[in-house]
Each structure stands twice: as C-alpha cells, then as structure tokens.
Amino acid sequence: MFFQFLLRRLLYVIPMVFVVTLVVYSLVLLIPGDPVLVLLGENATEEKIAELKRQLGLDKPIIEQYFTWLSNAIQGDLGRSIFTGQSVSEAVAERLAVSLQLVTAAILIAVVVGMTLAILSIYYAGTWIDYVVRFISTLGVAVPHFLFAMFLVVLFSLKLKWLPATGFTSIAESPGGFLRDITLPALSLSLGGIAIITRHLRSSLMEVLDADYIRTAYSKGVSRWQALFGHALRNAMLPVVTTIGLMFGNTLGATVVIETIFAIPGLGQLAVGAILQRDFTMVQGVVLVMFMMVVIINFLTDIVYALLDPRIEY
C-alpha cells in the first residue's frame, strides 16, 4: 500500500513540475529590459539586433522557445549565459553546493534552538521562562532576515570583531573556517524558522499533554519530564516535520538577500547578478533549480510524514 501512496504522490509531482517550468519561463520574460540591447547598446542597428536574436533563438515564437528550453532542461542542459558564455548547469551546480550548506546550517540551528525553546516553555509553563520564549517567537516572526543580519554584522563583526562580515569557506575545505564564516548568515536565516518551530511545537505539546493517555501516565506516577520526553514529544513532532519541509523553501528563497549581504557565492547572489545583467538564461536556470528543490523537499516531507504517522491512509 505504501508503494501505491508513493506512486500517487509521484503522479501529483509530474504536472506540478510542468506548471513550475511554465511559470519560471513566463516570469523571466517579464523582467524589464531587453538583453539584446544590453549586449549591443542602445545605438545598435536593426541588422545587428536581428542577427543576435537569431543566434540566441529569440526570433522564434514564445511557445517554440519554451518547449526547446524545456526539452534541453530535461536533459540537464539549461543553456549558456548570454554574457559570459558559461554553462548555466555548471554555474548553478557550483553555487548550489554553497547555498545548500548555508540552508542546512540555518535549518539545523532553527530545529535545535526552536525545539529547545518550545520544551522549556512547556516545562516551565506560566513562569518568566515561558514568557521570554513566547516573546522571542513573536519577535522572530516580526523581524525581517536582512534587518537581523545587519544587526549581527554591526554587533559581532564591527563592534566585537569576533566573526567575519563577508566570505565563505566550504566545509570540505576547512570545517573550522566553515563554522567561522557560516555562523552569522546561518543565524540570520534561522531566526524565522526558530520562531515558527517554537510556536508550532509548543502548541502541539500543549494539545498532546492534555490527552487522556498523558493523564493516565501521570496517575501511574510518571514525572512531568518523563511524560514530556517519553510520551508527548514524539506525537507532538508530527506537525513540526511538515513545518520543517515548508521552511526549507522559505529559507532557500531568503538566501537571495542574505548571500548578498554577506557576499556568499551561492545561488542567491548568482540570481541577483543575473537579474541586474538581464541574463535571462541564467535567471531561468537558477529559479528553476530553486523551484525544483522546493518540490523535491515537499515530496520527501510527505513521505516522511506518512512513515511516521500510522494514521495516514496510504
């Protein structure tokens, strides 16, 4: 039955991917400015403009351009940059590794800190710890990523001089350098995730701790700590799994701003540079990969949720 569930989810993903590619291709065409005029200049002759459009395939009907691009994308060919001539697939793959390290670090921080705060809030319910945690969770939702990032830079880089404000070291090159460079951007990205996980897990724990089987556990002499970790936490984690899956897409999208602030050579910075240059092939490749990552993570989240919760009907 699980394989039927898996097949049904895959059948949902296929039309979703088609719609995503169509939206990506259409939105990029709405970017202001003509890349041909950017390349040739405003004083270019009609003959040169027509020749360059022919070379880039821009003289063909939009539908034909889309299906040509889609066919090549399915084969892993996202075209070449209009300005540098670099393969878009190679550029995206190189930058994707950087962005994934940043997003993974941010989500790990959000999960660990968010779960810790939620558990402390429930265990010390009604105390000052509970009120502080609720204030932090509200503040985390209200404060934008870029504002928190600038605050961290001013405090830890300019004032205290503990951590660098820019730069990136891959974890494969130097784990120590990676931790030093990734701390501030990962913290900036994780703020919203910490708040969301704290609020969702706290709410879920409150509901679970009010269940009949928890009262039965208390009547058998189980302590609040044992009831929390031994009985309630596992059931309360199910909504958090979905939250983490959805959070991945939000965090990946926020890298566009954070990577620009911290000068991290990831997908976000690549997308910003491509948009400013009107390099539509590069923009299409970056946005498509980001969309596909979100679709894949959501698909995996559905699978994990079904495996964890036996109440799901395959």
pLDDT digits (tens, 9 = 90+) for 103-149: 999 999 999 999 889 888 888 888 888 888 888 888 887 888 888 88
Amino acid sitting at position 269: Q
| Token pair of 163 as six digits | 């951590």
Reported pTM? 0.79
Mean pLDDT value of segment 195-218: 81
- For residue 207, what pLDDT is reported? 80
Residue 193's closest CA among 130, 245, 260, 270? Answer: 245
Contact 106, 186 (CB under 8 A): yes
Closest CA to 200 of 110, 308, 108, 127: 110
Look at 309 and 25; give whichever has higher pLDDT: 25
- pLDDT for residue 42: 63
pLDDT 10s digits, 63-78: 777 787 778 788 877 7
| 263's tokens | 């000068």
Kindly list the distances between the CA atom of residue 271 and the CA atoms of 32, 76, 77, 286, in Å, as whole numbers in the listed order. Answer: 15, 19, 18, 6
Q: Which CATH class is domain 89-308?
A: mainly alpha
Q: How crowded is residue 305: how many other Cβ atoms within 10 Å of its Cβ?
A: 15
Residue 175: the pLDDT is: 87
Cα separation, 118 vs 209, whole angstroms? 13
- pLDDT tens per residue, range 259-278: 888 888 888 888 888 877 77
φ, ψ of residue 87 in degrees (nearest 5): -65, 125
Q: Which residue has the higher pLDDT, 240 or 53?
A: 240
The pLDDT, as a whole number, for residue 32 is 62
Please compute the mean of the pLDDT values over residues 22-41 and round it to a whole number: 66
Tell me which residue has tokens 């995206």.
92
**How confident is the model over 20-25, as a mean pLDDT?**
79
d(CA 5, CA 12): 11
What phi and psi, each to the nearest 5 degrees, are found at residue 110?
Answer: -60, -40
Read off the pLDDT of each residue in 179-188 and give the average, rounded to a whole number. Answer: 90
Q: What is the pLDDT of residue 105?
A: 92
Closest residue by Cα to residue 117 from 170, 193, 212: 193
**Residue 159: what residue type?**
K
Q: Which two tokens stand for residue 224?
A: 């609040």
Query: Is residue 58 within 8 Å of residue 36, measured between CB atoms?
Result: yes
Q: At what angle do helices 62-74 and 2-29 cross, to 10 degrees?
A: 140
Contact predicate 82/281, CB 8 Å: yes
Say how far apart CA 49 and CA 59 lie, in whole Å.
10
Whether residue 11 has pLDDT greater than 80: no
Q: Pick the residue with more confidence: 219 or 36?
A: 219
Contacts of 265 (CB under 8 A, 6+ apart): 95, 98, 168, 259
Residue 313 scores a pLDDT above 60: no
Supply the pLDDT for residue 33. Answer: 61
pLDDT at 40: 61
**Domain spans of the chain?**
17-74, 89-308
> What are the tokens at 38?
């950017």
Angstrom CA distances, 6 to 3, 55, 224, 303, stand at: 5, 43, 38, 7
Whole-number average pLDDT of the chain: 80
Count of C-beta atoms within a 10 Å radius of residue 300: 13
In the structure, what pLDDT confidence band is assigned to residue 314 with cuts at 50, 70 and 90? very low
SS3 content of the chain, % helix, strand, coil (to 5): 80, 0, 20
Q: How far apart are CA 293 and CA 265, in angstroms?
A: 18
Q: Which residue has the higher pLDDT, 263 or 24?
A: 263
